[in-house]
Amino acid sequence: MKNLLSASTQAMPRFGPALLQFLVLALFVLFAVRLWYLQIHLGPVFTEKSRNNQLRVEYIFAPRGFLRDRNGELLAVNEPAFALGLVREDCEDIPATLAEVSRLSGIPLDKLTEVYNRNKPKVKSFEPLVLVPDMTYDTIAKVEGAVVRWPGLEIISRTRRKYNYGHLLSHVLGYVAEANEAEMQADPTLSLGDYVGKQGLEKTLDGLLRGAKGKRLIEVDVTGRRLSEELQAEPRAGQEVFLSIDLSLQQLGHKLLEGKSGAVVVLDPDSGEVHALVSEPSYDSNMFTNGLSNAQWAELRDDPLHPLQNRAMQSVYPPGSVFKLVMAGAGLHYDAVDPSETVTCSGELPLGNHVFHCWKRKGHGTVNLERALVESCDVYFYRLGMKLGVDRMSEFAKAAGFGSPTGIDLPHEKSGLIASREWKLKRFGVRWTRGEDLNMSIGQGYTVVSPLQVARYIGAILNGGKLVKPLLIKGQRPQITGRVPLTPAQAELIKNDMVQTVEDPRGTCHRIITPGVTVGAKTGSAQVMRLTEEMHRMGEGVPFKYRDHAWMAGFAERGGKRYVIVAMMEHGMHGAAAGPIVKAMINALFMGQRELPPKDLEGGERPANGPAPIDTVEPQFPEAPTGETPAASSDQEQPQQEADQQ
């Protein structure tokens, strides 16, 4: 047998040593390349990760800019607030920690878990995830004692918005609340837990008021305990803003409308600055910054009196006889009326097989344009409406700023409606009728406007026809957004007729006459539905929701100062019911009387379940069988001697 262990059989393979050397070298090169890749190529990445384990970025919340009234009174400020966050990277047992937070804060565990799961993808593991956005001082005391025993919990210091006059200015200032996901996606500077403006000036001026967050680096040990910190960027506070609003006027308007539903606007016709913008009922802006429960929100949202709605510019109403000022302008512009030409008012005007009544059933006798405005004669304006027709009435009203937003820097402004032939045909599929010309001529039918639009038109009569944007920031340059097509002489004529409506003893606004002050005004009683003869006989006994809205729109001037004042009271019954509000504002502006006058305001009481403001474009009166629109008495305000008898 051949020897298998002979020298010839034990010889090394020819290429064995070289192959082994190659494999060793290849393995070495592989380790070297991998080491280079990890140490050199990925070195900065791992260095950054290592630093993140040791150094953390903490953002410093910037204080929101203060809001002041035109005289410097603080309206919106900031106060210290504390949130509770959870740093997941430092937390050993997240479910147990959430249970402990629930015990300390009183917040249900399922709600905390839902907040955690919803926000987890939005926050890095080494950044605090806000679980409780605003802790009470009792909760803070409990949490401070538990932070040591529960790693990962962190108290976050921030500021919270506080409104010194919550109810008084809620519709102007609005409120702030936590940014939602859509807002954070739209603005990369926002992060979870940031507060942004949601309504009012807080929303429209959010970029100005919010400022910019600061940043600091925090060095921590393996347990997350802070070792040192370094400030990298100072927080920049938001800008302080002075409003055009006069707080004392706003307070007076609020008191005058207390227990009622309505709006008051005080406007400088030359600069456009708004000195008062009152809407009642209102809400407390602090409810939102303090955190609103679902039950509280549902109660506020479903309130039949709609306290969230700004009635000065988010609600629209039939203007009633206030619209006769627009009709007077249209008649003069289109040469459809001669101011000296007279019309005989017998108390009614037949049209087809229907009779359109004047509010004064006995009639006003012979009236010209001035007397028609002073005594608010419906028949005069019925005839003027027939002359003009819907096309010219609509064209002029739109040129006068109605049917479009005023542009005020508040969200969700309503445009109102100035109807036209085309609009009705598209909306209802039927043609315009002559009877609707008559309804439109006295501010009824489809026409709806906001109190702010009325104030801007009155301002244009005073300032030479300029439609000035209503401004809420003090000192802004006036912004002219359009012009009413009236000559200076025509505007002056309407202005003088408004003055006569106050100064003439038979004028419907005579009660607001003020010695030493030039005052002009126009009342309006706007029907919300056609009243039956039985309801007319009921007088003050008409159910609240069927009563007319009360308007008074006017101006006052003395010594180079002049202001437009518009008051609208829902279901105030008669236009004169808004008179004491306008009178009180005049006394405040020129006499310094900023206290509430005697409580002798007429009408306007508010029930527990009142109807919503009119904000639709539905017709106010059904069509008559003949195709004509039933008549509507636009005014139930009385001359001084008649009103005193009621």
pLDDT digits (tens, 9 = 90+) for 389-422: 999 999 999 999 999 999 999 999 999 999 999 9
Taking 80 as the threshold, does the pLDDT of residue 139 lie above it? yes
**pLDDT at residue 277 greater than cutoff 60:** yes
Query: What is the pLDDT averaged over residues 374-380?
Result: 95
User: How many angstroms separate the CA atoms of 157 and 337, rounded?
Assistant: 69
Is the separation of the CB atoms in 498 and 373 below 8 Å? Answer: yes
Higher pLDDT, 3 or 489: 489
Q: Are 147 and 153 in contact (CB under 8 A)?
A: yes
Cβ contacts of 57 within 8 Å, gap of 6 or more:
127, 215, 216, 217, 218
* pLDDT greater than 70 at residue 2: no
Q: Cβ–Cβ contacts within 10 Å for residue 60, how many? A: 16
> Are 264 and 278 a contacting pair, CB within 8 Å?
yes
Helix (H/G/I), strand (E/B), else coil: 188: coil
CB 384 within 8 A of CB 327: yes
pLDDT for 617: 34
Where do we find the tokens 């962190």?
Answer: 154
Q: pLDDT, tens digit, for every residue of 13-52?
A: 666 677 777 777 888 888 887 777 777 777 776 666 555 5
DSSP summary character for residue 37: I
End-to-end Cα separation, the chain, in angstroms: 145
595-618 b/e (C-beta count within 10 Å ≥ 16 → b): eebeeebbbbebeeebbebbbeee
Residue 421 near residue 447 (C-beta atoms within 8 A): no
Q: Is the pLDDT of residue 437 over 70?
A: yes
What pLDDT score was predicted for residue 83? Answer: 86
* Residue 425 token pair: 């045909």
Spatial distance between the Cα atoms of 363 and 495, rounded to a whole number of angstroms: 25
Coil, strand, or helix at residue 108? coil
Nearest C-alpha neighbor of 502 from the set 515, 513, 516, 491: 513
Phi/psi of residue 92, nearest 5 degrees: -80, -35
pLDDT at position 361 is: 87
Band of the pLDDT at 445, cuts 50, 70, 90? very high
Which run of H or E residues covers position 198? strand 195-199
Whole-angstrom Cα distance, residue 635 to residue 364? 13
Least confident interval from 72-81, 133-142, 415-424: 133-142
User: Contact at 8 Å (CB) between 229 and 218?
Assistant: yes
Residue 586: pLDDT over 90: yes
- pLDDT confidence of residue 621: 34
Token pair listed for 548? 């007319």
pLDDT class for 623, splitting at 50, 70, 90?
A: very low
Residue length of the chain: 646
Alpha carbon distance 225, 151 (integer Å): 9
Where are the chain's structural domains?
56-242, 258-299+308-324+388-643
pLDDT for position 614 = 40
Q: What share of the chain is helix, strand, coil (3-state, %, to 5)?
A: 35, 20, 40
Radius of gyration of the chain from Cα atoms?
36
- Record the tokens describing residue 557, joined without a space: 């001037």
Encode pLDDT of 190-249 as tens digits: 887 788 999 999 999 999 999 888 888 777 666 556 677 777 888 899 999 999 999 999
What separation in angstroms does the CA of 400 have from each of 132, 407, 459, 461, 481? Answer: 51, 14, 11, 10, 11
Which of the two residues, 532 and 65, has the higher pLDDT score?
65
| pLDDT tens digits for range 146-186 | 887 888 888 888 888 999 998 999 999 999 988 888 888 88
d(CA 644, CA 600): 13
Asked whether the beta carbons of 457 and 402 are under 8 A apart, the reply is yes
pLDDT for 536 beyond 80: no
pLDDT digits (tens, 9 = 90+) for 344-353: 999 999 998 8
Cis ω on the peptide bond leading into residue 281 (within 30° of 0)? yes
Query: pLDDT digits over 474-531, tens only?
Result: 999 999 999 999 999 999 999 999 999 999 999 999 999 999 999 999 999 877 656 5
- Beta-carbon neighbour count of residue 561 at 10 Å? 12
Superfamily of domain 56-242: Penicillin-binding protein 2a (Domain 2) (3.90.1310.10)
Q: Span 435-451, mean pLDDT?
A: 95
> Residue 387 has which token pair?
């002359």
Other CB atoms within a 10 A radius of the CB of residue 500 amount to: 18
* CA atoms in the 13 A half-sphere facing the CB of 361: 2
Spatial distance between the Cα atoms of 254 and 232, rounded to a whole number of angstroms: 47
CATH placement of domain 258-299+308-324+388-643: 3.40.710.10
How far is Cα of residue 486 from the mean position of the Cα atoms in its chain?
Answer: 32
pLDDT band (50, 70, 90) for residue 456 = very high
Among 395-399, 406-410, 588-592, 603-607, the least confident range: 603-607
215 alpha carbon, distance to own chain's centre: 33
Give the strands of the sheet with 226-233, arranged side by side: 55-60, 214-220, 226-233
